[in-house]
Structure 1
Amino acid sequence: MRRRSVLLLVSVVAAVGGIVLPSIGEQQSSGSTRITHVVVNAGKPVVLWSKESATVSFAITAEDKSGIKSVDKIGVWGSNYGVLRPSAAPCVAKTKTVSVCTGSFTVSLANHDVYDNMAGRWYIQATATANDGDRFESDTAGKFFIKKAGYATLTGTQSTAAPGTLLDIEGQLMQPNWKSWLWVWDPHQPVQLRFKPAGSSAWRIVARTTTDSRGFMRAETKATTTGTYAWYFAGKDWSVPVTSAAAQVSVQ
């Protein structure tokens, strides 16, 4: 997202909604101060599907030879004008030069804090100020993901089959709509049909295909040995990986 767009959005939100967020403009860092590490939600994506709210913690590690005075001017932003309100992040000195500053923010689908086109990569913006007056500013100090949940069905299998029987296995991939809070089709996504032989813990890919315009998927495979089948979607920046329930086919 272009910085000019973010700056415009933040200005409008601050004026209308009373949200105090920093302007994302030219960075004005000076000296040896650095933000060395940012962890959001313990390094895991924030996964949402319906009307739930999630309170997400973050930790910002900053360093300077004189010690860290504060980390502030914190913003949480994503694509398509996504902006969330963070808390303050009080700092705790871990050494004479390194401090860890922790805070949180809440994202609520019920309050329409995010929409479908905002799923994906998000950033933490912050300014670290050292005891000697040096500072470090970054509008992409940390990166994290807000992702959609998902589920897949598997249909069309038979419980028993003779060796060499052609199995026609179907399913459907679904995703949540963050505006209506309903499950909807997930079209045109690459999926895999996987098979795990009886007694094995390893899955292998037996077919690859793409969901159609209504999220349906279909593949044919020959029955060779007893085992279980499942559909798998690897996920993307905006969606978590999805595995359908497994169905067993006994080959006799």
Structure 2
Amino acid sequence: MRMRPTVAVTFLTAALSASVLPATAHAADTAVADQTTFSNVVVNGGKDLVLGLTTRKTVTITWTARDPEGVAASWAYLWHGPNTDDADGILPLYPPVGTCVVSAADPTTSTCKVSFAVDAARDFDHNALAGAWKVLAGAQDTTDDWTETDVTGTASFKRSAKVTVNASPEPVKKGRTITVTGKLTRANWESGTYTGYQSRPVQLQFRKKGSSVYTTLKTVSSGVGGKLKTTTKAKSDGYFRFVFTGTGTTGPSTAAGDFVDVR
């Protein structure tokens, strides 16, 4: 965390918009008793952000800023990388000042919000950007001192996944073997295509005709190119599907059920 004098509040928006902020974001300085503190930082309502190849989303960051002198302005943005000086991703690129509301019960505390657009095709050009991002929050108090804290919260951006399923033969005699095949792929932001996701656990589930509940039969591992293949015995009419629960860098996906008529 750090503090330093800054320009008047009326120039803050222009100053922030005219530069790429990580150039001024450094390691924390010694804590000062009267500096601004940040809490209750939430990105996207606490939910993961799953992006395909052309996904567009509006992302909202909310936070609480508190300063003994009162908060004149506050801002927050997302960054990815080893530190803010070497960040390989910043969202939004030109962070605006947040909209803040001063607490009626406590004039030293403000609740703030900022929303911005994320475009996968524009903002995510390499796959290493998937995973945890950090939230930098900053504020300017009413005496024109400012504080920035490099890490006040986190957000998770994930690559969208797709999984398919096909159960055969159809129809099949009771007790015979059913072969279930499919494929697990995920968005490749570098190639602009969905490519196979190998060596990942995928659940084979079955729902009996007339029921609304799926039961997990087994877990299989995706092979080369994300291919899925397994067998099971035909017991009754119903639907087979593959379910991928996701990873730290890839969102979940569930295939539509494939019906098999057992005679």
Q: TM-score range by the shorter chain?
A: 0.7 to 0.9
Q: Amino acid of the residue matched to residue 229 of structure 2?
A: R
The aligned residue for residue 82 of structure 1 is: 89
The aligned residue for residue 71 of structure 2 is: 68
Aligned partners of 1:112, 1:68: CA distance in 2, in Å?
31
Residue 195 of structure 2 corresponds to residue 184 of structure 1: yes
The aligned residue for residue 158 of structure 1 is: 169
Aligned partners of 1:177, 1:51: CA distance in 2, in Å?
11
Aligned partners of 1:129, 1:28: CA distance in 2, in Å?
18
- Cα deviation for residue 108 of structure 1 reads 2.9
- Cα deviation for residue 169 of structure 1 reads 0.5
TM-score of the pair, normalised by structure 1: 0.81
- Cα deviation for residue 114 of structure 1 reads 4.2
Coordinate RMSD, CA, aligned: 2.6
Residue 224 of structure 2 corresponds to residue 213 of structure 1: yes
Consecutive unaligned residues of structure 2, counting only runs of 5 or more, are: 1-17, 83-87
TM-score of the pair, normalised by structure 2: 0.78
- Cα deviation for residue 44 of structure 1 reads 2.3
Please list, as runs of the form range in 1=range in 2, the aligned pairs for 1:96-245 lying within 5 A after superposition.
96-97=105-106, 98-128=109-139, 137-245=148-256
Q: Amino acid of the residue matched to residue 88 of structure 1?
A: V
Answer whether contact 2:169 2:179 (CA < 8 A) is retained: no
Aligned partners of 1:235, 1:90: CA distance in 2, in Å?
34
The aligned residue for residue 14 of structure 2 is: none
Per the alignment, do residues 40 and 112 of structure 1 end up closer, same or farther by CA in structure 2, a change over 3 Å counting?
closer
Per the alignment, do residues 113 and 175 of structure 1 end up closer, same or farther by CA in structure 2, a change over 3 Å counting?
closer
Q: Amino acid of the residue matched to residue 42 of structure 1?
A: G
Q: Percent identical across equivalent pairs?
A: 27
Q: Amino acid of the residue matched to residue 26 of structure 1?
A: A
- SS where residue 163 of structure 1 aligns? coil
Aligned partners of 1:140, 1:99: CA distance in 2, in Å?
19
Answer whether contact 1:129 1:135 (CA < 8 A) is retained: yes
Comparing 60-69 with 211-220, which one deviates more in the overlay?
60-69
- SS where residue 83 of structure 1 aligns? strand
Consecutive unaligned residues of structure 1, counting only runs of 5 or more, are: 1-16
Count of matched residue pairs = 235
Answer whether contact 2:65 2:139 (CA < 8 A) is retained: yes
Answer whether contact 1:152 1:172 (CA < 8 A) is retained: yes
Aligned partners of 1:193, 1:70: CA distance in 2, in Å?
52
Aligned partners of 1:103, 1:175: CA distance in 2, in Å?
30
Please list, as runs of the form range in 1=range in 2, the aligned pairs for 1:16-95 lying within 5 A after superposition.
18-21=19-22, 22-31=24-33, 33-63=36-66, 67-72=70-75, 74-79=76-81, 81-84=88-91, 85=93, 86-95=95-104
1:111-131 residue CA offsets vs partner (Å, 9 max, x unmatched) = 354421111111111134555
